[in-house]
Amino acid sequence: MDADNPNRKERSTPQWALYQRENFWRSNDGETPLFNTEPGKLEDLAKEKLSQGGWLYASSNAGQSTTHTANRQAFYRHRIIPRMLVDTNHRDTTWSCFGHTVAAPIGFSPIGINKIYNPAGELPVAKVAAELNLPYCLSTAGSQPIEDVGKANEGGVRFFQLYMPHDDELTVSLLKRAVDSGFTACILTVDTWQLGWRHDDVQNSNYAFYHGQGADLGLSDPVFQKRLAADGIDPKTMPNEAGAKWIDNVWHGRAHDWSKLPWLIKTWKQLSGGKPFAIKGIQHVEDAKKAVSLGVDGIVVSNHAGRQVDGAIASLDALENIVAAVGDQTYIMFDSGVRGASDVVKALALGAKFVFVGRLWVWGLSIAGEHGVRHVMKSLLAELDILMNVAGIQSIDQINRTMLESYPKSYQAMANKAKL
């Protein structure tokens, strides 16, 4: 494409589409692009790079992976209808999320224990997110201290995803650390009181926290340090026991119910000065209505990428239902199954206001650390920018239901769960 095309001067965000040109040119300089970002090939390369434990944890799904399969099938029944001869020389991917102006309606999903994918853990991911001006969401199961992730994301938009302990003092400590480290929203995940049944992880005893790895976020917490001392656990000499105690406070297997939400929302609002509070993992319309009635600022429609309940509704199908019920009452976000820019556009067209991406950047981190995350996410942004250019979309707010032709829900069971 013409590097001096008029769109460069018309937009507030970088012209992401030029990343295509940059990679086309590389061979003239004796270089090649870092790696292929086609999702199936990306996954294959990550498998080659990762340890068995890292690969199994990243790729595993609940049960027979039927929810994972359904997530991808749901995207296939919707087709984008491009418009022609639209002046996309006036085109921009810019968007707003919880009051922040960001580069695109795309964010980094909260994914835990990044150290099993790369020794630097969450730090390079948070750094790239800030660089690209995309919101970054840190998981409570993160493998770096909250404060260090905040510093790595300096200048960026960052949210804190909470797995709520049954220890209110510990919960308050985690939230306070997040506020003090510049995290500007709390997203409570409600679908993971404990991990779903994931056959490969169970068969291989693949739980990093029980083997002394990945508990840094908890081990750096002053309240949790008191809990360790009270139990006589020294994390330096007893890393397995310390990691187990931490994660057993996070994925504790003891459900919370709706009665806890008013306290948590009030606590977060008081600590943060009124910053947004959202719930992640909502799939049923009645749960969405209940969340709205309690005053949440947002809902993330998600089935945890098919990793929690096998045989569950596709996240994209749940999105349609929830948008129809409460889409005009709260900020609806989407997560689960996104593999490319067309998926982002479809989710937005069905009523999501923001889309989280997970496994794509995990594969990039696994393959090439910071450079891998940057390559994957810049490629996704370029793909989105190009799709907008060739499909006649000038701005994100033009993406709506009229852009899609949709077909009946007639999903067939498929043996192959990957590379869909």
Q: Catalytic residue numbers? A: 304
Q: What phi-psi label fits residue 369: left (phi over 0), alpha (psi between -120 and 50 degrees) or beta?
A: left
Alpha helices in 87-186 (DSSP H): 123-132, 146-152, 168-180
Q: Cβ distance 332 to 353 under 8 Å?
A: yes
Alpha helices in 294-350 (DSSP H): 315-326, 341-349
CA distance 346 to 123: 30
Whose CA is closest to 187, among 289, 334, 328? Answer: 334
CA distance 336 to 359: 9
Element (DSSP H or E) covering residue 269: helix 261-272
DSSP 7-26: HHHH-SS--TTHHHHHHHHG
